Amino acid sequence: MRDELCDFVIVGAGSAGCVLASRLSERGARVVLLEAGPRDSNPLIHMPGGLARLAHFTSINWNYETEPEPALDMRRLYWPRGRVLGGCSSINAMCYTRGAAADYDEWVALGATGWSYADVLPYFRLSERQARGPSPYHGADGPLSVEDLRYRNPLSSLFVDAAVEAGFPRTADFNGPDPDGFGFYQVTQLRGRRSSAATAYLHPVRPRRNLDVRTGCHAVRIAFEGDRAVGVVVATRGTERVVRADVEVILAAGAIGSPHLLLLSGVGPAADIEAHGIRVHADLPGVGQNLQDHLDFTTLQECRRPVTYDFGLLEEVAVALRYLLTRSGPGVTNAAEAGGFARSRFASDARPDLQFHFVPAQIDDHGRQRRAGHGYTLHACHLRPRSRGRITLRSARSQDPPRIFAGYGSDPYDIGVLVEGVQRSRQILNATPFDGWRGREVYPGDSVRTESDIEAAIRRRAQTLYHPVGTCRMGTDALAVTDPHLRVHGIRGLRVADASIMPRLIGGNTNAPTIMIAERAARLIADEHDGAVRSGSEAR
């Protein structure tokens, strides 16, 4: 194996990794960014409406599956995660939400000193290029473009009107002082084109001589000298080599990839690691624990009029041509155009504990199955699950995916909240604005009426909303993996900076918070290593 040297090796070119690579190289550091997947050259990534077809491209997706879930009829759930430059920000639905301010204050109460809402808001603003202009809650000069959708299906407006008629407030900004209410999602797009972490942060700075972006590089394990991480062993086309880090190794491989690489490298629960014949470098029992995700149920309704995005092949071609020629029409949609946040009767404080995403199309099996006819879908998810899961090793081979025990419904409270989410979904879809449009309810179906019926339907059909976090959580207790500066406990030169460090799942989509985490991590690193990293611009 041949050694190569730089200041920072970053594992994972997803939402966090692209931010870190851009910010650290901006300040003069020599950075190598490693990505297992390919470049983001697939045109469907950049046309927002291509989202529906991305599920069929396994080359840009890790295609994980959970272990059989006991509370969900022993089903294995499909967990798509981005395996491409930009990571999940290259394949997600582009909804820009941050959760509630109290979510971050709760992190502090759990031991994450310095991560209160007042602490993190400047980094949300630093990252954001808000098309509506700057405000106390929004920035307008950052790399990540956030704008209103340029095209909306008429059913999305009906949905918002129906939610208001059902008694919920209307809101124009889910990221202001209070996320409660229903309205249209803002999206991470720039003039109708996806604004991923790769297009926003990475591509504009690729010419930098101190930034080396490598795709098709699979991280095998972290290289150690004593109690210090000194690099990453990388496999490329069957050949292994060590990329050495003179300053730090930074894991940004996400809530699945980061704990998996730690475990493969001998960092985690000692007994579990030794069971696979791996030498223990640090006995950290919290690695892979504390897994949390938003469990989601979709209510699917047939539509009497052919206005939805349930297109045939010729219609898809026409949509794509219109988009290429004019950057307009259904090609700019993110599918989940409208939605909202609400409090269930179970909510323990003022924060919403239910989130809704309305899609003017029939969504079945993550879009992998196509249904005949026209319809619309309403997603409901429980934002504050009490259930916890874990990530463990399947084997000592880095090519083998980890075992994912999501733990959905291990606390029955979560299922009860989601039952109410389904009831609220029906309430909205049965409001008068949908009269004349509403057809047969496909799921859960007219025969599902009682709470026990709905609970059984959830166990049969609920799926992930793609928001796993928490498996390398920050804190100071015995189960914390990183400290509040995101340094791995007990190991020098090793940091984790991605969604895995969240102590608790925030109340919303997780892409914007992950980018915020990376922005703040870059500043923490700059402050700590001012000899290797020039001082950058202050968070505004």
Measured CA to CA, the distance from residue 189 to residue 199 in angstroms comes to 10
Q: Is 374 a catalytic residue?
A: no
**Burial level of 241, CB count in 10 A (0-12/13-18/19+)?**
middle
Question: The tokens of 228 are what?
Answer: 């210090």
* CA gap 518, 21 in Å, rounded: 10
Task: Report which DSSP code applies to 315.
Answer: H
Amino acid letter for position 385: P
Q: Per DSSP, what are the bridge partners of residue 380?
A: 297, 356
Strand pairing category for 189-190 and 438-443: unpaired
Contact 203, 194 (CB under 8 A): no
Q: Using CB atoms within 10 Å of the CB of residue 102, give its burial: 0 to 12 exposed, 13 to 18 middle, 19+ buried.
A: middle
Cα 218 from chain centre: 21
Q: How far apart are CA 148 and CA 33, in angstroms?
A: 31
Q: Report the C-alpha gap between 136 and 23 in whole angstroms.
A: 23
Catalytic residue among 294, 374, 382, 467: 467
What is the Cα–Cα distance from 450 to 447, expressed in whole angstroms? 9
403 half-sphere exposure, CB direction, 13 A CA radius:
12
For residue 267 the two structure tokens come to 């960092």
Instruction: Write out the H or E segment, with its range, that includes residue 458.
Output: helix 451-461
User: How distant, in Å, are the alpha carbons of 20, 285, 338, 511 from that of 486?
Assistant: 13, 17, 35, 18
* DSSP secondary structure letter of residue 271: H
- Tell me the longest C-alpha to C-alpha distance in the chain: 70
Question: Can you tell me the distance from the alpha carbon of 284 to that of 141, in angstroms, rounded to the nearest whole number?
Answer: 40
Is residue 371 within 8 Å of residue 362, measured between CB atoms? Answer: yes
Give the relative orientation of helices 154-165 and 412-429 as an angle to the nearest 10 degrees.
Answer: 110
* C-beta of residue 200 within 8 angstroms of C-beta of residue 355: no
> 3-state DSSP call for residue 171?
coil
What are the φ and ψ backbone dihedral angles of 167, each rounded to 5 degrees? 105, 5
In this structure, what are the phi and psi dihedrals at residue 197, rounded to the nearest 5 degrees? -60, -30
Give me the active site residues, please: 467
